[in-house]
Amino acid sequence: MRYIACFGDSLIEGFPFGPECSWCKAAEQGGDFRLFNYGVCGECCDDIFWRLSHIMLPEQVEAIIFMGGANDALCGRRPDQVVRDIMKAAEFAKARGLGFALVLPLISAETELNGALAEITKLLKQQDLYFLDLQEGVGLNPEEIARAYVDGVHPTAATYGRMGAVARRQIKNWLERGEL
């Protein structure tokens, strides 16, 4: 069994349903890994990094999955600030011998938010990181995306389940690559 700590905002936490309905919980089904859910609704990437750097992780944790950016965009933080905070988290993990994977920001049903998220994603893809892309679980066309969210930003329970199935495949691939 492999152990991974997942840090992020409401999209890790599983809001509005809670951690038991999160994509993290769904991803564990049929996987040979355990995901510890450290998601906190409303946090920006600097908050997430602060928690990551100040929490005592269980000793069996060997990797970090990080997901954030939507709250940063909603708060008007510059994309380069967001990327800087994420890279600090990646460097923190690496310095402690932990693997690090980043979940790319999701296209939301809120078109005003998507421009900022696209800019964050563009800058992140220039970094030397392992990426998880869960967009397939949300949907790829505007109609799927509109149905995938409770409020335009937070997935429905069914969407969290689909995101978990996509994540399971990608996490298994990450673990099989032996990059941890």
Give 72-85 pLDDT, tens digit per residue: 999 999 999 999 99
Residue 178 binned pLDDT confidence (cut-offs 50, 70, 90):
confident
3-state secondary structure of 67: strand
- CA nearest to 31, candidates 4, 10, 57: 4
For 91-120, what is each residue's pLDDT tens digit?
999 999 999 999 999 999 999 899 999 999
> What percent of the chain has a predicted confidence (pLDDT) above 90?
96
- CA nearest to 113, candidates 59, 150, 71: 71
Which CA distances in Å does 66 have to 13, 24, 48, 93?
12, 12, 8, 10
Residue 67 binned pLDDT confidence (cut-offs 50, 70, 90):
very high
3-state secondary structure of 104: coil
Dist. CA 76–CA 36, nearest whole Å = 29
Q: What is the mean pLDDT of the chain?
A: 96
pTM of the model: 0.97
pLDDT at 39: 98
Residue 130 binned pLDDT confidence (cut-offs 50, 70, 90):
very high
Which CA distances in Å does 118 have to 49, 87, 122, 123?
21, 17, 6, 9
For 4-22, what is each residue's pLDDT tens digit?
999 999 999 999 999 999 9
**Amino acid symbol at 11:** L
pLDDT at 180: 67
pLDDT at 59: 96
DSSP annotation of 32 reads S
